[in-house]
Structure 1
Amino acid sequence: MSELSQLSPQPLWDIFAKICSIPHPSYHEEQLAEHILSWASEKGLEAERDSVGNILIRKPASAGMENRKTVVLQAHLDMVPQKNNDTEHDFTKDPIQPWIDGEWVKARGTTLGADNGIGMASALAVLADDSVAHGPLEVLLTMTEEAGMDGAFGLQPGWLKADILINTDSEEEGEIYMGCAGGIDFITTLKLEREAIPAGFETFKLTLKGLKGGHSGGDIHLGLGNANKLLARFLAGHAKELDLRLVDFNGGTLRNAIPREGFATVAVPADKAAELKNLASHYQEILKNELSVVEKNLVVLLDSATADKAALTAKSRDAFISLLNATPNGVIRNSDVAKGVVETSLNVGVVTMEQDSAQIICLIRSLIDSGKDYVVGMLESLGSLVGAQTEAKGSYPGWQPDASSPVMALVRETYQKLFNKTPNIQVIHAGLECGLFKKPYPEMDMVSIGPTITGPHSPDEQVHIESVGQYWTLLTELLKAIPAK
């Protein structure tokens, strides 16, 4: 038994503990999907999958509620795999280890997967708990949301029978989401040339780590450090004066997670080694001063290393460093319409270097299509300045807010009645699948709710226990209040 079984509502937490025990990072959801299908079959529920692997489970209405509008509860099957550098964990094989820390549930050294595992658990708990009153019910679990919204892109018209969709992927109790940002991936590929490291040079590994990381949408306004950008800044400031040769550069692991760690292999003349050490130490002091409020654990390390390949030529070095240093990152513009919400941003998420090329992968988000287009154009211009290839792909739409949504009004009224306070009606800068669902189901009325989750997409991810109970109460009362057709 998991220690989570002592928490309430118990069915939800027990199901979440089971979800944690089955590996399910993006592109590796099959084991969890098979478990859920088997679970549904045991409960006598109708369950099926579509051509892209999405799961749909149907449950008949509670007695006397057959005439209500049909509701689909929706969550995604996958989680973001991020771990601390000193944590041994294989996300494709090892279970997540949740534990209770006061008011919160956390994971040991990894992401928790409360995003969107709690939402998934809540939908399955509704199916499992016959005391929850509801009309005709569907549960839709989508594939590979975190790495490209594959399941939402593949959803076909006519499969869902529901009139109302409740997305469970929001991360702030007391807030109802009625709109979200769209996004697009942007990949810049720069050709590289190499030459032998000169004799008399010493090789070092420069590491910048200890950053918080986080969600590249929901946390982008917090001013968190981006390891790729901070490392590029150091190299841009000192490469020429040190006659530094760049051998390798890697940082970040996911386009939608703010990079927590970056690594560069460099070589400098032996008589410049002490200066490099001093500059690295000084740079740590600069960053600790600049980011003292948001990044208390950042470190800059310099260790002796061996180079297993040649260094970039001076021309390639300068092109790569200039490109990465000049690539914008973070908030581009705040919304004039949704006050306090970021309109357009980008995250320089992953930088990799191979023998003859380097790749910079960004995720651009915007509430408006023209905002995405603006940043795409900016990155294309940057790439052209250094002769790099650029590609924008995987565009997905935002979810346009509908102020007249009946289900949004119902959620607001139900919340007010339950908790005697007015919830915030919000537009979220993160990407939700609702925008994509609108294409095959343009008439479906949609809303997004969820418990309080902080630090999603990072090993600091945690879910607030009390808020899960409040979210469950809201969800079950909402299902009871769904009107007749």
Structure 2
Amino acid sequence: MTDNTTEKILKLMDEINRIPRQSHHLEKIHPWLMNWGKEKGFEVRTDAAHNILYKVPASPGYESAPTLVLQGHMDMVCEKRPGVEHDFQNDPIVSWRDGDWLKAKGTSLGADNAIALAMIFALITEEKAEHPALEVLITSDEETGLVGAQNLEPDFLEGRVLLNIDSEDEGVFTIGCAGGMDVNLTLPVECAPLPEGFETMELTIGGLEGGHSGIEIILQRACANELLVRVLRAIVDAVPDVRFGGLCGGSAHNAIPRDACALIAVSAKGVSKVKKVVEEMEAVSKAEYAQREKNLRFTLGAAKPGEGGLFTPESGGKLLDALKQIPHGVKFMSYSVPGAADTSLNFAMLRTEAAALKVLTNIRSARASRGASLAESMYCLARLCGGSGASGNHYPAWEPRPDSALLARAKTVWKKLSGEEAEVEVTHAGLECGAIGSHYPDMEMISFGPTIRQPHSPDERLFIPSVGRVYAFMKELVKS
């Protein structure tokens, strides 16, 4: 594949990245994509879930071949570094090159999944490309529960072979994925004004790697929300008159939390004790995560207590006892796929409201029964402290078909082009293939893509040399 082709694809990705496309804020990217397809002369449709479909005629000689579906999603996970000023609903993503890697300036790159759209757009506008009739399916709100794919209109697609370009390792074909759900907990809290003379500080946990909670949770990186609760418990145990509140952490259900914070208030004589505990817990955490978290930091700074005061001692103590029971991380490993996660929970978000703490967790499992059992554990925890729980954003697992004719063909094409055998995997991440397959049980599917590292974080990066190679593979597979 020539450098010119890779440059064309990256230019298309830059065009897409200039259009804001935060999940559930598609009011700019959706009309842009509709207009792009119409301007290229394709038949363009949309549905009630804001999915978009381009109908691309077959190239000469391929008119009698079965229709093929090429699929990617329009939205992105929006993450930025602390202190970075970026409005994801209005500002473009600005990329830059660091050797062979494409990165963004202070934010997530959005290569997940703009690179898929860019590669598809390059193919369907390449004059000499050979292909059957194509349906380009661009789904909405993938990053918040596969919403578009789950709500596809009946008979939206004619094709029964689908290439999903949303995997993130060159030379690896994904043929199955975990199912999942969000579990939302509402935990009651009582607040009261602070006693006279109390000093208020803000405790911040930051500098963590974070990452995709499906792909990278198996790496056992630190969770900012989990660390915050641990430090607060240690402070409360060591400093009797301390008060806390204003917990806030994490930014998305499918991103491992990188940052979290809370307000702490204590009498003047207790300030030094709080600082000592924070320093000790920072040292402990750095030692525990020495091989995973090089930039982990705990900071204390002056702050205002805010209206309504902070949690009462009794309410705050019960809350910490409950939060300590949330089992972040991998719960079961796969018995059938060595080294693969079967069931996990991401302690994703904390938000403090007037009389409650809102907790968002995301559960993934290859077995629906294990996911349901873990969700029930979360409901039990909420009920024990007088709260409530509810689930949402359910999406089905994608059952692998290792004997698929499409997989066999893809492996043959990859070996022909690269000289190497492709790897085949079942991923712990959620892919739209499961949701699409629930609407089209006879759909034959495979997922692949160029190499992306640390998606769903400001460290997201795209390995540029993989783009041209994967595009060449996609082009040859479509032709075959």
Q: Which of the five TM-score ranges fits, normalised by the shorter chain? A: over 0.9
State the Cα deviation string for residues 288-336 of structure 1 (Å, max 9, x = none): 1111111111110011222113121122101211111211001011111
Residue number in structure 1 paired with 2:279: 281
Residue number in structure 1 paired with 2:303: 305
Residue number in structure 2 paired with 1:79: 76
**Per-residue deviation, 1:6:** 7.2
Q: 1:282 to 1:241 in 2, by over 3 A?
A: closer
Q: CA RMSD in A?
A: 1.3
What is the alpha-carbon distance in structure 2 between the residues aligned to residue 254 and residue 132 of structure 1?
A: 39
What is the alpha-carbon distance in structure 2 between the residues aligned to residue 88 and residue 413 of structure 1?
A: 47
Secondary structure of the corresponding residue to residue 180 of structure 2: strand
What is the alpha-carbon distance in structure 1 between the residues aligned to residue 355 and residue 65 of structure 2?
A: 61
State the Cα deviation string for residues 143-194 of structure 1 (Å, max 9, x = none): 1110121111110221211120000100111100000011111011011111
Determine which of 210, 216, 221 is the counterpart of 2:218: 221
Residue number in structure 1 paired with 2:314: 315
Task: Kindly report which structure 2 residues correspond to 1:164-243, keeping only aligned pairs within 5 A, or say none.
Answer: 164-242=161-239, 243=241
Residue number in structure 2 paired with 1:143: 140
Amino acid at match of 2:298: V
Residue number in structure 1 paired with 2:459: 460
Cα contact 2:188–2:385 (8 A) shared by 1: no
Secondary structure of the corresponding residue to residue 144 of structure 2: coil
Secondary structure of the corresponding residue to residue 238 of structure 1: helix
Q: 1:275 to 1:78 in 2, by over 3 A?
A: same
Cα contact 1:180–1:399 (8 A) shared by 2: yes
Amino acid at match of 2:191: R
**Per-residue deviation, 1:29:** 2.0
What is the alpha-carbon distance in structure 1 between the residues aligned to residue 156 and residue 304 of structure 2?
A: 57
State the Cα deviation string for residues 369-419 of structure 1 (Å, max 9, x = none): 012112112212222221221112221101000112111111111111111
State the Cα deviation string for residues 268-287 of structure 1 (Å, max 9, x = none): 12111011111111221111
Is residue 2:98 matched to residue 1:92? Answer: no
Residue number in structure 1 paired with 2:256: 258
Determine which of 22, 25, 29 is the counterpart of 1:25: 22
TM-score, normalising length: structure 1: 0.96
What is the alpha-carbon distance in structure 1 between the residues aligned to residue 472 and residue 148 of structure 2?
A: 28
Residue number in structure 2 paired with 1:362: 361
Residue number in structure 1 paired with 2:158: 161
Cα contact 1:157–1:441 (8 A) shared by 2: no
Secondary structure of the corresponding residue to residue 258 of structure 1: coil
Residue number in structure 1 paired with 2:99: 102
Task: Kindly report which structure 2 residues correspond to 1:436-475, keeping only aligned pairs within 5 A, or say none.
Answer: 436-475=435-474
Aligned length: 477
Secondary structure of the corresponding residue to residue 473 of structure 1: helix
Amino acid at match of 2:256: I
Secondary structure of the corresponding residue to residue 360 of structure 2: strand
Amino acid at match of 2:89: T
What is the alpha-carbon distance in structure 2 between the residues aligned to residue 403 and residue 148 of structure 1?
A: 26
Cα contact 2:176–2:427 (8 A) shared by 1: yes
What is the alpha-carbon distance in structure 2 between the residues aligned to residue 145 and residue 470 of structure 1?
A: 26
What is the alpha-carbon distance in structure 2 between the residues aligned to residue 307 and residue 468 of structure 1?
A: 50
State the Cα deviation string for residues 428-484 of structure 1 (Å, max 9, x = none): 110001111112211110100101100100000001011111110110000111xxx
Moved over 4 A (4+): none
What is the alpha-carbon distance in structure 2 between the residues aligned to residue 91 and residue 6 of structure 1?
A: 31
Determine which of 126, 129, 132 is the counterpart of 1:129: 126
Residue number in structure 2 paired with 1:39: 36
Amino acid at match of 1:290: E
Cα contact 1:7–1:13 (8 A) shared by 2: no
Secondary structure of the corresponding residue to residue 140 of structure 1: strand
Amino acid at match of 1:319: K
Secondary structure of the corresponding residue to residue 75 of structure 1: strand
Which deviates more, 253-262 or 23-32?
Answer: 23-32
**Per-residue deviation, 1:101:** 0.6
Residue number in structure 2 paired with 1:271: 269
Cα contact 2:23–2:141 (8 A) shared by 1: yes
Cα contact 2:234–2:277 (8 A) shared by 1: no
Residue number in structure 2 paired with 1:246: 244
Identical-pair percentage: 39
What is the alpha-carbon distance in structure 2 between the residues aligned to residue 174 and residue 303 of structure 1?
A: 47
Residue number in structure 1 paired with 2:383: 384
Secondary structure of the corresponding residue to residue 69 of structure 1: coil
Amino acid at match of 2:155: G
